[in-house]
Amino acid sequence: MEQNSYLKRTWANISLDAIVENYRFVRKHAAPDVKVMAVVKADAYGHGVKFVAPALQEAGADWFAVSNLEEALQLRAIGIARPILILGYTPPQTAKLLARHKISQTVFDRGYGEQLSAAAREAGVTVSVHIKVDTGMSRIGFVYRPNSGEAADEMAAVCRLPGLYPEGIFTHFAAADYDGDPDGSFTKRQGDLFLEAVEALTRRGIVFSLRHACNSAGIFTHPALHLDMVRPGIVLYGLKPSAVMELPGSLRPAMELKTVVSMRKTLHAGMTVSYGRTYTASEDREAATVPIGYADGYIRVFGKGYMLVKGRKAPIIGRICMDQLVLDVTGIDGVQPGDEVTVFGRSGNEILTVDEITAGTGLINYETVCIVGKRVPRIFYQGGQMAGQLNYVIGETAEQW
């Protein structure tokens, strides 16, 4: 398979230009002295971190955030030299790896901090850490409530442990996108608690070079809480944090998901479609089978939606299968095998957004892009040209075919 070719079965087009444009949108709305930590966990939200992270580094991202050690090591392996923070749990015994690769680790309670300190001392290294303060998310972090002297004492004790360097402190907002907090009062309370915790630690002689709280939503809804650094995630990929949130400008979605028509057929009145026979043709209809299914990340809850064929809406009929589904293309002229089908993205003058296909399903746009399957190659474009591809199935052997 040639470097600039790819199998046109089902694939995702990724615009690196869009990602850089969205990064600059964030950069524009943060004060000049505020650093930007690009969140690229989960393979850059399904977009392909091998290409996305270098593009963000070149654009000026100050920091990168990931979920775990493997993701951090992947960034180092692809040439990311900027600081990296692991937002979640890392086994303490990997302290030497953290230090060797200059990866900062989140510490979320005293017990974990003590274990990481012991492992660092045993390895003869110092690990940079960021203290996580739980101000209302209730996942991980030192639980801090008003005038919580005990929590402040615990955090200060961890910061004084040998083998640990207290580089930063942060919290995470639960509802900065106004979903569950329509007037922003809960997020303001979280911000106030966080600043109170920082001040309590300052009184105990602990001062951090980096304080950060704002996620994608918080960057735009609570600018007073930008502090030393902000952590954009979903907005980098051109998607809104929630449907109820308005942004001071436009984002550019970075991913389009495409497939093709594999077969066209006539469904005669009375014929049924797919497993369970949930669809029966009430009259003669024209149908097209397309090779995408739940193994590609297009899961069954999307079954009441549609795709775009030749710029026209083609409803899904029958149940979505593992590898295939069926569209009603009645009234769409000239549909033939090999024709491109837009799962989400642009087709002619029509655009089908990720938010539209998730509406009413109980899913969110984050999930939809993250679950695009690993047998779906990512095709990257920059400056109007194909910049490369990621094929997770045949990997580095792609060129030999």
Q: pLDDT for 105-131, tens place per residue? A: 999 999 999 999 999 999 999 999 999
Which burial class, exposed, middle or buried, applies to 56 when counting CB atoms under 10 A from its CB (0-12, 13-18, 19+)? buried
Q: Above 50 in pLDDT, residue 8?
A: yes
Per-residue model confidence (pLDDT) at position 304:
95
Q: pLDDT for 188-228, tens place per residue? A: 999 999 999 999 999 999 999 999 999 999 999 999 999 99
Distances (CA, A) of 67 to 42, 64, 106, 243, 397: 7, 10, 10, 25, 28
Q: Above 70 in pLDDT, residue 398?
A: no
Instruction: Note the helical H segments in 232-378.
Output: 354-358, 365-370
Torsion angle of C-alpha atoms 193, 88, 103, 237, degrees rounded to 10: -90
Per-residue model confidence (pLDDT) at position 1:
45
Q: What is the mean pLDDT of residues 310-326?
A: 98
Q: What is the mean pLDDT of residues 306-320?
A: 98
What is the amino acid identity at position 140? I
Residues 6+ away with beta carbon under 8 Å from 178: 184, 217, 221, 242, 244, 245
pLDDT tier, 306 (very low <50, low <70, confident <90, very high otherwise): very high
Q: pLDDT for 12-66, tens place per residue? A: 999 999 999 999 999 999 999 999 999 999 999 999 999 999 999 999 999 999 9
Q: Domains, the chain, ranges and CATH?
A: 31-237 (3.20.20.10), 255-400 (2.40.37.10)
Distances (CA, A) of 309 to 180, 207, 254, 259, 327: 37, 58, 20, 10, 9
What is the amino acid identity at position 259? T
Name the one residue in this structure whose structure tokens are 């402190």.
169
Extract the tokens encoding 252.
């550019």
Per-residue model confidence (pLDDT) at position 253:
98
pLDDT tier, 400 (very low <50, low <70, confident <90, very high otherwise): low
Distances (CA, A) of 384 to 14, 15, 18, 24, 293: 12, 9, 11, 19, 29
- Please state, for a pLDDT cut of 90, what percent of the chain lies above it: 95
Per-residue model confidence (pLDDT) at position 300:
97
Q: What is the mean pLDDT of residues 236-260?
A: 95
Closest by Cα among 387, 391, 390 to 16: 387
Buried b (16+ CB within 10 A) or exposed e, 259-270: bbbbebeebeee
Residues with a catalytic annotation lie at 41, 275
Distance CA 65, CA 104 (A): 9
pTM for this entry: 0.95
Q: pLDDT for 327-379, tens place per residue? A: 999 999 999 999 999 999 999 999 999 999 999 999 999 999 999 999 999 99
Q: What's the mean per-residue pLDDT of the chain?
A: 96
Distance CA 347, CA 331 (A): 17
pLDDT tier, 169 (very low <50, low <70, confident <90, very high otherwise): very high
Distance CA 216, CA 233 (A): 6
Distances (CA, A) of 230 to 218, 319, 394: 9, 42, 37
Extract the tokens encoding 18.
């869009």
pLDDT tier, 148 (very low <50, low <70, confident <90, very high otherwise): confident
Considering only CA atoms, give the Rg of the chain: 24
Q: What is the mean pLDDT of residues 277-294?
A: 98
Q: Above 70 in pLDDT, residue 179?
A: yes
Longest C-alpha distance within the chain, in Å?
79
Q: Above 80 in pLDDT, residue 172?
A: yes
Q: What is the mean pLDDT of residues 145-164?
A: 96
What is the amino acid identity at position 278? T
- Please state, for a pLDDT cut of 70, what percent of the chain lies above it: 97
Distances (CA, A) of 108 to 87, 138, 202, 334: 10, 11, 18, 59
Per-residue model confidence (pLDDT) at position 6:
77
CB 241 within 8 A of CB 207: no
